[in-house]
Structure 1
Amino acid sequence: MHPPSLPQKMKDETGRRTDQRRNHELSQELGWISIFRLGLVQAALGAIVVLTTSTLNRVMIVELGLAAVIPGALVGLHYGVQITRPIWGHKSDAGQDRTTWILRGMALLAVSATLAAATTLLFERSLTLGLAVAVLAYSLIGIGIGACGTSLLALIAARTTPQRKAAAATITWILMIFGIIVSSVLVGSTLDPYSHPRLIAITAITGVLCFCITLVAVGRIERRSRQPARKSAPLETSSFQESFSDVWHDPDARLFTLFIFISMLAYATQDLILEPFAGLMFGMSPGETTRLTGTQHAGVLLGMLLVGIAGTIFGKTMPGMPKLIIAGGCFVSALALAGLGLSSLHAPSWPLETNVFVLGVANGAFAVAAISTMMLLAGAGKRADHGMRMGIWGAAQAIAFGLGGLLGTVALDTGRSLFQDNGIAFGAVFGLEAALFLVATGMAVRLRRAPNSKIPQDLHRSATVAAVPGE
C-alpha cells in the first residue's frame, strides 16, 4: 500500500484545517439575543442610507434644480466604492476584529451622511465646491457601508449554526426594513416645512442615534470568543486571490452572482427617480415623497412576511416554491413598473401609493426567496469563506445599484431633453425598468434549472427567510 502523495497530504491538511475552523466558529455560535442585537445594526444602516439615496436625491433635483444625473452619479459613486466589499469579507474570514470594523464603518457612515446633507448649502453658493465636497462625502459613505455591512454579515454567517441561519437572516431583514420605515416616517414628519439646515440637523441626529444603537448592539458579542478566534486564525491560510478564485469557479455561485446583478439593476433604476417623479408629476412635498418611500418599504416587508407564511403552509408539498417566488416576484415587479409608466400619463389621478405599495410587495417576495438561497450557498464552499462569498454578492449588488441609479437618472435627463415632456420621460424610464425585470425573470428560471446545483433539496424549508446583504 503506497503512502499518500504530497499533494494529497496538503489537500487533506487543508480540509482538516477548514473543518477545524468551521467547528471553532460554530462552537462560538450566536444566541438569539445576540442575533437580534446584530440585526439592530442592519436597521441602523438602513436608517441612514435611505436619507442619502432617497431624500437628499429628491432635494438636489427638485429644491436645488440640479440635473438628475448629478445625484445619480454621486449615489453611483458610493455604490462603486463598495466594490471593495470582498476585501472586507476576506479580512473577516481571516479572523480580524469584526466589531471594530463594524463600529468604524458606522461612525464613518454617520459623519459622511451629515457631510453629504451639508452640501445642499454649498450647492446654492457654488456648483463646483458643492460637487467637490459631495464626491468626498459619497466616497466615504461607500467605504462606511462596505466596512460595516460586510463585516456584520460575515459575523452573522460565520457564527450562526446552519439550523439558525435562515431565522437569523429573517431577523436581520425585518429589522433592516423596520429601520428604513421608521427613518422614512420620522424624517418625513419632521422635515416639513423644508429647509437645508433642518435637513442637515435631522441627518446628524439620525447618525448619532444609529451609532449609539450600533455601539450597544455589538458590545461584548465578540469578547468571549475573540482570543480563541485569534488562535485559530492561522487555520485559514488562503490568500485573497485563492479565496476569490474558489468562489468564482463555483458554477452555482457564479450564476447566482449574475442573477443578483441583473435583478438589483432592475430594482435600482427606479430608486433615485421615484421621489422626484412623485414631486414633479403628483405635486408631493419633500415630506410626502419621503413617506412614499416608507410606503414602498412597508410593502417590501409585507411581501417578505407573506412568503414566510406561504412557505410554512405549502413548503413541504411544493419544494419548488422558492424559485417560483423568485421568478414570480420579478414578473410582478415588471407589471408594477409598467403601471408607474402609465401613471405618468394619468397623473395626478392615478393611485400612486397603491402602485408603489404593490411594487414593494413584489420586490420583497422575490428578494427574500433569492437572498435565502444566497445564505444557504454562503457556507457551501471548499473553505470557510462566508465573508468572501457575501462580499462578492454584496459587490455585485452594489455595482448594480450604482449603475442602476446612474442609468435611471441619465435616461430621465435624456428623455426630458428629447421629448420636452416629464410624463413621457418618466414613462420611458419605468418601461426600461420593467424590461430589465423581465430579463431577471428569465434569469430566475435559468437559475432554477442550473445543472449540478449544490443547493440542498430541502431548500424550501428555509428559503422563505432571508436578509438582504449590506443595505
Structure 2
Amino acid sequence: MLSWFGIVRLGLIQTGLGAIVVLTTSTLNRVMVIELAMPAILPGALVAIHYVLQVFRPAWGHGSDLGARRTPWIVGGMAVLATGGLMASIATAWMTTQPLFGIALAVVAFCLIGAGVGAAGTSLLVLLAKRTDDNRRAAAATIVWVMMIAGFIVTTVVAGHWLDPFSPMRLIIVSGSVSVAAMVLTIIGVWGVEGGSVARAQLVSRSSTRQPSFRDAFMEVWHEPKSRRFAIFVFVSMLAYSAQDLILEPFAGAVFAFTPGETTKLSGVQHAGTLIGMALVPLIGAVYPRSRVNLQLWTVGGCLASAIALLCLAAAAIVGPSWPLRETVFMLGVTNGAYAVAAIGSMMVLISAGDEKREGVRMGLWGASQAFAFGIGGFLGTLASDIARYVLTSAALSYFAVFASEAGLFVIAAVMAVWVHRAPTKDATQQQVFNLPIATVTEGARS
C-alpha cells in the first residue's frame, strides 16, 4: 500500500496534468476571444471536443480493472496530453495568419488533449484508490486535488509573467515548457509505484476467473442507486462549476480591461482560493474531530456559497471596474474548493461500494459525467455569452445573465446532494457516505 510520500508522488502527475489543462482552457481561449477577436463559441467548442472524447473514461477504467498495470496508461496518456497542449498553442498562433488552418489544427490538438486527460486521469485515480488503504482514500484524494490546484496556481502565475508582452512565439515557448515539465513530473510520480511481481500476481488472479464484459460491468455499476445518483449529482454540480470557466478571463478583459497576463494571474487568484477552500474541510475536521459536520453538509453548503459568489460576480458585471473583482474571484474559488473536496471525499469512499470490485468503472462513470458537464458547461457558457451579447447589445449585461444562471444551477445541485444521501443501497452494510464525519477524511492523515 502507498505511504503518504507515495501518495504525494502520485499527486505530482495530477499537478502536471492540471498545468497543461489550465493553459488550454483558460489562457488560449482568452487569446482567441480578445487578441484574435474570434467569437467565444470557438474556444467553447474546442474545449467541448476534448470533453466529448472522455466518454471513453468508463471503458478505460474497465481496462484498468482487468489489466495488470496502469503505469503505461498514465505515462502514455500524459504524453498524448502534452503533445496536444503544445499543438493547441501552435494552432492558436497559426490563427493569427491562417485562421482556417489554425482552427483545423486546434481541433486535432483538443482531441489529443481529451484522450490524454481521460486515459491518464482515470488510470491515475484507479491506481490511487487500489493502492491506498481504505482509511486514507478520502485524505489521499484531497492531497492529489490540492496538488492539482497548486499546479494551476504555479502555471498561471509563471505563465502570466512570461506571456507579457504577448506574442504568438512566447505562447508556444511557454506551452512547450509546461508540457515538458508535466512529463518529467509524471515519470517521477509513477516510478516504482507498481511492482512487477504485484502486477503479475494480479494478472494471474484475474485470468483464472471469467471477467465480465464492459457492458455487464457498466450496467452493474449503473444499477447501484448511490453510484447512479452520484453520477447525476456530479453532472449538475460540475455544470454549474464549469460554465464560468471559459468566460471569466474574457469577462475580465472585456469589462475590466485586463491584459492577457493580468487575466491569467486572475485565474491564479481563483485557484488560490480553491486551494484554501479545499484545505478548510479536512482542517476543520482535524480541529473538531467529534463535530457533527459531515460531507453532505459541506457539499450542500459549498454549493449554496458558490451560488452567492456567482451572484457577486454578476453584480461585478453591472458595476464595472470599481467592483473588487479579484476579491470576488477569490471568494468564488474558496466556495468552489469547499464543495469540490467534500464531493471528492464522497467519491473516494463510494468507489469500493458494491458486490464486486468495479473501482475503475465507477471512477470512469463519474469522470465521464464530470467531463460531459465541463464540456457542455463551457460550451453553453460561451454560447450564452454570445447570444446574450447579441440580444442585450451589452457585454456587461450578457455576463450578468450568464453568472446569475450559474448561481441557479448551484442551488439545484445543493438540493440534489440531499437526494444522493437518501438513495437506497443494495447492501445493508454499505456506509451512508454523505453521513461520514469530516474527521474520517483526515483520520489517516493524523495517524
TM-score bracket relative to the smaller structure: over 0.9
Question: Residue in 1 aligned with 2:110?
Answer: 138
Residues 368, 465 of structure 1: 8 Å contact kept? no
- Equivalent position amino acid for 1:244 in 2: F
Question: Residue in 2 aligned with 1:328?
Answer: 301
Range 157-166 or range 202-211, more displaced:
157-166
**Count of residue pairs brought into register by the alignment:** 437
Distance 2:407 2:150 in 1: 27
Residues 169, 465 of structure 1: 8 Å contact kept? no
2:249 counterpart of 1:272: no
Distance 1:397 1:456 in 2: 22
Residues 135, 440 of structure 2: 8 Å contact kept? no
2:368 counterpart of 1:407: no
Match of 1:204 among 162, 176, 179: 176
Match of 1:47 among 19, 22, 31: 19
Residues 34, 221 of structure 1: 8 Å contact kept? yes
1:352–1:461 Cα change, 3 Å: closer
Question: Residue in 1 aligned with 2:75?
Answer: 103
Match of 2:274 among 263, 275, 300: 300
For each residue in 1:89-134, what CA deviation from the matched residue of structure 2 results, as whole angstroms up to 9, or x when unmatched?
0111002421111111111111111100111232122332122111
Match of 2:342 among 369, 382, 391: 369
Distance 2:92 2:100 in 1: 12
Match of 2:34 among 62, 72, 93: 62
Q: Which runs of 5+ in 2 are unaligned?
A: none
RMSD: 1.6
Question: Residue in 2 aligned with 1:9?
Answer: none
Distance 2:206 2:357 in 1: 11
Question: Residue in 1 aligned with 2:263?
Answer: 289
Question: Residue in 1 aligned with 2:227?
Answer: 253
For each residue in 1:404-439, what CA deviation from the matched residue of structure 2 results, as whole angstroms up to 9, or x when unmatched?
000000000001111111000110111111111111
Question: Residue in 2 aligned with 1:4?
Answer: none
Question: Residue in 2 aligned with 1:177?
Answer: 149
Match of 2:10 among 5, 17, 38: 38
- Equivalent position amino acid for 2:232 in 1: L
Residues 48, 378 of structure 2: 8 Å contact kept? yes
1:236–1:191 Cα change, 3 Å: farther
Question: Residue in 2 aligned with 1:13?
Answer: none
2:437 counterpart of 1:460: yes
Match of 2:290 among 298, 312, 316: 316
Residues 285, 291 of structure 2: 8 Å contact kept? no
1:341–1:101 Cα change, 3 Å: same
Question: Residue in 1 aligned with 2:399?
Answer: 426
Distance 1:455 1:351 in 2: 44
Match of 2:120 among 131, 142, 148: 148
Q: For residue 462 of structure 1, report the CA deviation from its aligned partner.
A: 5.1
Question: Residue in 1 aligned with 2:46?
Answer: 74
2:66 counterpart of 1:94: yes
Residues 291, 437 of structure 2: 8 Å contact kept? no
Task: Report SS of the residue matched to 1:317.
Answer: coil
2:191 counterpart of 1:215: no
Distance 2:419 2:21 in 1: 32
For each residue in 1:266-296, what CA deviation from the matched residue of structure 2 results, as whole angstroms up to 9, or x when unmatched?
0110000000001111111111111111111
Q: For residue 160 of structure 1, report the CA deviation from its aligned partner.
A: 1.3
Range 170-179 or range 190-199, more displaced:
170-179
- Equivalent position amino acid for 2:268 in 1: G
Residues 322, 463 of structure 1: 8 Å contact kept? no
Q: For residue 316 of structure 1, report the CA deviation from its aligned partner.
A: 2.4
Question: Residue in 2 aligned with 1:417?
Answer: 390
Q: For residue 343 of structure 1, report the CA deviation from its aligned partner.
A: 0.6
- Equivalent position amino acid for 1:119 in 2: A
Task: Report SS of the residue matched to 2:95.
Answer: helix
For each residue in 1:345-369, what CA deviation from the matched residue of structure 2 results, as whole angstroms up to 9, or x when unmatched?
1110000011011111110111111
Distance 1:166 1:329 in 2: 17
- Equivalent position amino acid for 2:389 in 1: R
Q: For residue 308 of structure 1, report the CA deviation from its aligned partner.
A: 1.2
2:354 counterpart of 1:354: no
Distance 1:181 1:312 in 2: 25
Question: Residue in 2 aligned with 1:341?
Answer: 314
- Equivalent position amino acid for 1:289 in 2: T
Distance 1:354 1:302 in 2: 14
Residues 92, 98 of structure 1: 8 Å contact kept? yes
Question: Residue in 2 aligned with 1:11?
Answer: none
Question: Residue in 1 aligned with 2:165?
Answer: 193
For each residue in 1:217-250, what CA deviation from the matched residue of structure 2 results, as whole angstroms up to 9, or x when unmatched?
2112113422222222224712111110111000
- Equivalent position amino acid for 1:138 in 2: F
Distance 2:193 2:389 in 1: 52
Residues 316, 461 of structure 1: 8 Å contact kept? no
For each residue in 1:326-357, what CA deviation from the matched residue of structure 2 results, as whole angstroms up to 9, or x when unmatched?
11110111111111111111110000011011
Residues 304, 361 of structure 1: 8 Å contact kept? yes
Task: Report SS of the residue matched to 1:67.
Answer: coil
Q: For residue 402 of structure 1, report the CA deviation from its aligned partner.
A: 0.1
Task: Report SS of the residue matched to 2:436.
Answer: helix
Distance 1:339 1:104 in 2: 42
Residues 236, 384 of structure 1: 8 Å contact kept? no
Distance 1:57 1:245 in 2: 37
For each residue in 1:418-464, what CA deviation from the matched residue of structure 2 results, as whole angstroms up to 9, or x when unmatched?
11110001101111111111111111122233344843477214565
TM-score w.r.t. the length of structure 1 is 0.90
2:216 counterpart of 1:242: yes
1:461–1:423 Cα change, 3 Å: closer
2:416 counterpart of 1:443: yes
